[in-house]
Amino acid sequence: MRSLLGFGGIAILAGLACSSNEPGSAGGYGCSSTEPNAVVKTIDPPNAHYSPDTTNISLTQKVCWENDGAVLHSVHFDLPDTTDVNLSPMSIYSRGFGVAGDYPFHCDYHSTMKGVIRVR
């Protein structure tokens, strides 16, 4: 049975005040930790990186990137999925995958920022 999420499960919540129904976030945004989410945080320079840089999820899980820093980052996937999303300060980006595989990604603004989502 295939996941219903597929590639349609993409949601961008960038800087939209009062639009989040995610609990437990004082600022009105943030990745929910009560759903079956895996959370990846962007870490600002001088030691810019994703934390964690490798994330393992199942076909039914989502990954939520969270920028609670002060500078712009992006989540730019490498081939075969070239989705490219800017992640402004105080914003999140959440998506599912639905197809098993490795999904490497990087930040367009900081060359040290690389990560991979491993979907099994």
Q: Pick from 57, 113, 117, 119: which binds Cu ion (CB under 5 A)?
A: 113
- Classify residue 118 as exposed, middle or buried by CB count within 10 Å of its CB (0-12, 13-18, 19+): middle
Question: Closest Cα partner for 66 from 42, 95, 33?
Answer: 42
Q: Is 110 in the site for Cu ion (CB under 5 A)?
A: yes
Distance of CA 60 to the CA centre of its chain: 15
Interaction mask 32-71, Cu ion, x per CB under 5 A:
----------------------------------------
Q: Which stretch binds Cu ion (CB under 5 A): 17-25, 50-58, 60-68, 110-118?
A: 110-118
Residues forming the site for Cu ion (CB under 5 A):
73, 107, 109-110, 113
